[in-house]
């Protein structure tokens, strides 16, 4: 792999915060929902919160790098072969792989 020149790339500019937009528009921040920056206005699902609580004592450990158990369960649910399931840390992780 050849190194790429990244000097022409623009730095990431995050979306403006709800408080900033509300102040600029004279609105109550509680009346706004931020849809930029990949934020979820509804918060995590109760199942996700429970999973975090259940495994909080292990956050000091890296997860296993192979996800064979997860890919097998996804494949079973959707009726496909394990080899047809790709697990990655988001779209960028898939593209980089």
Q: How does DSSP classify residue 61?
A: S
Structural domain boundaries of the chain?
Answer: 16-58, 62-89
68-93 residue pLDDT tens: 999 999 999 999 999 999 888 777 76
Longest dimension (CA), the chain: 54
- What percent of the chain clears pLDDT 70, i.e. is strictly above it? 98
User: Is-contact 71 64, C-beta < 8 A?
Assistant: no
Q: Name every residue whose Cβ is closer than 8 Å to that of residue 94 and which is 6 or more positions away in sequence.
A: 86, 88
The confidence band for 97, taking pLDDT boundaries of 50, 70 and 90, is low
Q: Name every residue whose Cβ is closer than 8 Å to that of residue 86 and which is 6 or more positions away in sequence.
A: 71, 94
pLDDT at 71: 93
The confidence band for 44, taking pLDDT boundaries of 50, 70 and 90, is very high
User: pTM of the predicted model, to two decimals?
Assistant: 0.42
Average of per-residue pLDDT across 16-32: 94
């Amino acid at each position: 792999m050849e190194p790429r020149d990244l000097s022409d790339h623009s730095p990431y500019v995050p979306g403006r915060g709800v408080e900033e937009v509300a102040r600029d528009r004279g609105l109550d921040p509680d009346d706004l929902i931020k849809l930029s920056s990949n934020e979820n206005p509804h918060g995590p699902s109760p199942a996700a919160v429970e999973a975090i609580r259940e495994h909080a004592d292990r956050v000091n450990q890296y997860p296993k790098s192979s996800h064979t158990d997860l890919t097998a369960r996804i494949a079973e649910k959707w009726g496909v072969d394990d080899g047809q399931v790709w697990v990655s840390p988001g779209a960028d992780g898939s593209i980089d792989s």
